[in-house]
Amino acid sequence: MRKSIVRDLVILIVIFGMIWGIVSVFPIFPEKIELLSIDREEELGELYLEIIQNDPTFSLIENQELDSIVEIIGTRLIDGLGKSRYEYKFYLAETEMINAFTLPGANIVITTGLINFCESAEELASVIAHEMGHAENRDVISRLVKELGLQILTSSDPFVMGEVTRVLSSAGFDRKQEKEADLFACELLENSDIEPRTLASFFRKLKEDIDNDLLEKFEIVSTHPNFTSRIRETLEYIPSEDFEEIEIEVDWQEVIKMIETQ
Ligand SMILES: [Zn+2]
C-alpha cells in the first residue's frame, strides 16, 4: 500500500516536471513585446523622433562639432558592443536639463545640459552605455507596452503621441531594469577600453547634486531612493586583470566651451 503511494507520488512529480519543462520552453503567455518585431520597433522610433523634433521642450539640434564628439564616443561603445540587432543613432537636444533617454529602435537622445554636467568624455560614455543597456534589453519598448498598451503605441492620435514622448523622456524603469542596465554599462565600458567604474563616480556626482532642478526628470536617477546601492554595486564591478584603459581622444574643455557658446 505504502509502496503504491510512493510510486504515485513519483509519477505525479515526473508529470509536473514535464509540464513545467514544456511551459518554460514554449511559454503559453509570451511576453507582449515579442509581438513587436525589431523592424516595427525601429519604425516606431522614427515616428517618435519626428514628434520629439516638433516638441519645443526637446529641440533637437545639429551641431557639426558636438555631433562629431558624440560620434567618437558612440563609435567606441558600438565597437565594444560588437554584434547588435540594432543600428544605434545619437541625437542632441539643446536644453539646460540634464538628461539622456532612449527611444525605441536604439535612438538615443542626449541633452547639451548633460554634456555640460559631465567632466570627461568617459563620464558621458558611461551614461550612453547605460542607455544602450536599456535598448539591448528592450526595456524601452516593454515599458511603453506596459504603461500604454500595444494598441496605443501604433496610434496616430497626436494626444497619444505626446503621452508617449512624456513616458519616454521621464524616469520610470524599475529597479531590476536599472540594475541590469548598470551592469550592462560596466561590461560594455570594459569591452570598450573605458574604466567601468566611471559610472560609479558619475552617480556619486549626481547624488551630491540631486537637488539640482535641472536633474528633475533624468532617466538615470529613476530609482532615486536606491541610488546608494547602485553606486556600491557599480563600484564593486571589477574589470579583468588584463584590462587597460585607453583614453577617449577628446579635448573636454573645448567641448564645454562649445556648449557655452552654443
Ligand atoms: Zn536607466
pLDDT score at 200: 93
Residues 129/134/140/142 CA torsion (nearest 10 deg)? 170
Q: How far is the CA of 180 from the centre of ligand 1 (A)?
A: 9
Residue 209 lies in a domain: yes
SS3 state at 229: helix
Q: What percent of the chain has pLDDT over 90?
A: 45
Per-residue pLDDT of 56-107, as tens digits, reads: 777 888 889 999 999 999 999 999 999 999 999 999 999 898 989 999 999 9
Ligand 1 geometric centre to CA of 114 (Å): 14
Instruction: Please give the pLDDT value at position 190.
Output: 98
Distance CA 112, CA 117 (A): 9
pLDDT at position 218? 76
Q: Ligand 1 centroid vs 188 CA: distance in angstroms?
A: 15
Domain for residue 119, yes or no? yes
Task: Quickly list H helices, the chain.
Answer: 2-25, 38-53, 64-81, 112-117, 121-136, 139-148, 150-153, 158-169, 175-191, 198-208, 227-235, 252-260
Give residue 244's pLDDT: 96
Please give the distance, rounded to the nearest whole angstrom, from the Cα atom of residue 174 to the centre of ligand 1.
9
pTM: predicted TM-score of the whole model, two decimal places: 0.83
Domain of residue 81 covers 37-260
* Residue 6 lies inside a defined structural domain of this protein: no
Query: What are the residue numbers of the active site?
Result: 131
The residue to which cell 535598448 is assigned: 135
- Does residue 15 fall inside a structural domain? no
Q: Which of 28-32, 147-151, 191-195, 255-259 has the lowest mean pLDDT?
A: 28-32
Burial of 20 (0-12, 13-18, 19+ CB in 10 A): exposed
**Residues near ion ligand 1 (Cβ under 5 Å):** 178, 181
Assigned domain for 178 exists: yes
Distance 72 CA to ligand 1 centre (A): 22
What's the whole-number mean pLDDT along residues 114-142? 95
> For residues 40 and 38, what is the distance between their CA atoms, to the nearest angstrom?
5
Give percent above pLDDT 70 in the chain.
89
Q: For residue 58, what pLDDT is reported?
A: 76
pLDDT of amino acid 191: 97
Q: What is the pLDDT of residues 201-234, one digit of tens each?
A: 999 998 888 777 777 677 777 655 577 888 999 9
| Residues 102 and 218: beta-carbon distance below 8 Å | no
Domain membership flag for residue 97: yes
How many whole angstroms from 178 Cα to the centroid of ligand 1? Answer: 5
- The domain tally of the chain equals 1
Model pLDDT for residues 17-67, shown as the tens digit of each residue: 776 665 555 444 445 566 688 888 898 888 888 888 877 777 888 889 999
Provide the pLDDT for residue 225: 57
Residue 4 within any structural domain of the chain: no
Task: Indicate whether 7 belongs to any domain.
Answer: no
14 alpha carbon to ligand 1 midpoint, in Å?
A: 42
